[in-house]
Structure formats: structure tokens, C-alpha cells
Amino acid sequence: MIKNLLHQKIVKHYDTVQSWFDKKSQNLSFPFYSSFDLRDSSKKISPVDANLFPAGFNNICEVDRERAVQLCKSYLKKYFPTVQNIILLTEEHTNNPFYWDNIYSLRLLLEKSGIPSVFVCVPGKNIQKDITLTSANGHSIEVFILENKMQKGDLIISNNDFSVDYQLNPPIPVSPPIKAGWNTRRKHSFFKEYNLLATEFANLIQIEPELLTIKTKRFTEFKLDDPNCLKKLQEEVDTFLSELEPIYKKENQTPFVFLKNNAGTYGLGMTTITAATEIEQWNYKIKKKMKATKGGGEITELIIQEGIASDLKREGSVAEPAIYLIGSNLTGGFLRTHKEKGMRDNLNSPGAVYRTLCISDLEIEVKGKPMENVYGWIARLGGLALSYELQSINSQ
């Protein structure tokens, strides 16, 4: 299995890859947090999504949450040493009580790290007055309109992914930055950076880069109701699959691709394709799926991405790991499982169940933790790629 090979290679070349990572990290500003959805086919492992505004902190194990307090302290001391009061800016949907468990966990993390005041705020577009909400686990959370608390904050940590352009121009720093939200950011930029770094990393540990990279192509000017556009998309997908064919034929496998909204989140605007001709046969259900975006906006760009089947299972269900970072440090993780989905399906969909994946003892016993070690390093590569992506965004 690829995990065992990678584990052995990483342990063997540990000093080399750590030195390489440290050098690559010099003069980079890492976002406060990030998370990465990974896929493990037993033949290759790669991120399939990078989240700059991650939810799900309530799903990481308790030991990891305690360790995260020290990581949070270190991050704030390095990047924002004078901060006393933090605004935690959240999404405005109130119909998902599990999301508010995530916010409760984040607020607690910041408070335990020594921040005297943490104000949970919303931009004020959908929620237009201060309210108190209850999370799935019964935690009561006071939620304020951002404008009402702006003068009391030194730093905004955003858990709102800015799929909606709120036209915010706060007088205090925001991490991750507003300009990296989904109203401007595009997935293909991350995967370009990731593939370059993964190739370097693979060469360092002496494996084939294709074990870690994920072929990704941008498709611009997507118009779902335009037959000419769909014909062009079909041609692009056909070429893409043809390029994957020789690689997968070696393993007696059939390649497939994910079509994804290039500015997407929440697993919306996504479908799988095994043959390009399937696009001709898209029914109402699939077309509806390819119109769905958070906030109701239109999908204008896609990425065509190599599909990685998940060969990982937990309690009989197909699973994929999600790994969290604070800055450049591993913070926690979980396994997303789905008993009604297959190994080629998108697991980030209704019905998903989250299982424990603790990584807090990696530094103590790295040789005995192949799963956490490998997934952890892939996530750290993702964090590095995100930071290079942010550097590019900030220079624009």
C-alpha cells in the first residue's frame, strides 16, 4: 500500500524533507488555519480540496484540541503579538446547529490560548440583529453584528468563506484575508502550487511524483445552458481522460474525473465523469447539481480533475481523511465516512459521518503512526501551497 511506502520513505529522509520544508516556508505568511480533504486510493494520495475557512473543529479529537491551544498561542505570538480582542467572523446560516458546534470549539480554542475577549460576529446581511443561537450539543452562543463590535477587536479571524462579497473593508487585520474568499479565489491556483511542491517532495524521498500529484485543468466560460459550451467541455474531458488512460491502464483501472466549480465550497457544483459522452446525457438532476452554489450564484468556471477513488474504509463505510493545520503545524483531523457512497463518489454530502483520527502524538512516535505521518505530510504540503497561493493573491 502507498501509505506504508510513503511512511518508510518519509522516515528515512525525515531530516532532508524537514529542512526543505523549513526553507520553503521562509518569508511566507501562513494563514491562521486551513484544512485539507485527502483521498487515498492505495495507489496514490493527494488533497482533493483545500479549505482556508475550515469548519469541523468540533470533529477533531479532544487530545488534538488541547494541543491546538499551544499552536494557537504560538501562531498569534508570531504574527499578531499585540492582539488582545478577537472577532470570530462566522457564516450567517443558522439552520445547521453542527456548524455552531464548530464555532463554539473555535471560540473556546481562542479563549484558552489567552485571548481576553472573543466576539462571535456575522457580516449582518442575512442576520440583522444580535442574537443567541444554540449548537447541536446545546452550547449557547451570542452572535453579534460585525459593525456593533468592530471597534472592540484587534484582529478578525474569519470562518466565513466570503462566497458572498460583503464589501467589507475593516480597519483591523483579517486572517485568512478577505481577498482569498471564494468571491475571488479559484481552486486551480492551489492545485498548480501543490503539484509543483509535491513533485519536489517526491523527488526528495525518491518516489514517482504521480503518487502524490493530482492532474487538474481549468475550464473557463462555463455555461450550463449553452450546447456549444457543453460540446467543448466534452472534448476537453475526452482529451483529459485519454491522457490519464496509459497511467491507469498499468493498474488495470479505468480513469475518471471530477468536474468541480472552480470557486466552489460545501461539495456543491460537482459531478463525476467516466466517459466524456456522459455530458451529452446529463439529466435534470445532474444539471441542477451543476447549478448549485453557496449563495445562489452562477457557476462560471470549472476544474477538470483526476478522480482518486477512496480505498480507505472505516466500520464498513468508504472514508477520506480531513487534516487541519494552524499555521504550518498539524492540529487535528477526522475521517469523513459515508455508508451510502462508493469509492468514486463525493463523500462531502448529506449523510456523512465523522470518525476519530488523532494526530497529536506524531512528534512523539512518528515511526509507529504511518497513517497520521503520511496524511500529515500531505496536509503540510497543502498548507505550503496555500501560503504560496496567498502570496500571489496579496501581490495582485
Alpha carbon separation from 196 to 2, 42, 212, 213 (Å, rounded): 20, 22, 11, 8
Confidence of residue 366 (pLDDT cuts 50, 70, 90): low
* More confident of the two residues 218 and 251: 218
How far, rounded to the nearest angstrom, does the alpha carbon of residue 377 sit from its chain's CA centroid? 15
**Percent of the chain topping pLDDT 70:** 95
Beta bridge partners of 270: 260
Supply the pLDDT for residue 368: 55
SS3 (DSSP) at 121: strand
pLDDT in tens, 2-13: 888 998 999 899
Cβ 176 vs Cβ 159: under 8 Å: no
Supply the pLDDT for residue 215: 98
SS3 (DSSP) at 87: strand
Domain(s) labelled CATH 3.40.50.11280 in the chain stretch across 81-172
Helices (H) and strands (E) in the chain, counts: 9, 16
* More confident of the two residues 61 and 370: 61
Cis status of the peptide bond prior to 47, with omega within 30 of 0:
no
The arithmetic mean of pLDDT across residues 285-302, rounded, is: 82
Instruction: Give the chain's mean pLDDT.
Output: 92
CATH class as words, domain 215-306: alpha beta
Q: What does CATH list as the number for 81-172?
A: 3.40.50.11280
Supply the pLDDT for residue 365: 52
Comparing CA positions, the residue from 153, 158, 150, 195 lying closest to residue 179 is 158
Domain(s) labelled CATH 3.30.1490 in the chain stretch across 215-306
Whether residue 49 is predicted with pLDDT greater than 80 in this model: the reply is yes
pLDDT in tens, 55-106: 999 999 998 999 999 999 999 999 999 999 999 999 998 788 999 999 999 9
Whether residue 364 is predicted with pLDDT greater than 80 in this model: the reply is no
pLDDT in tens, 163-186: 888 999 999 999 999 999 998 899
Whether residue 363 is predicted with pLDDT greater than 90 in this model: the reply is no
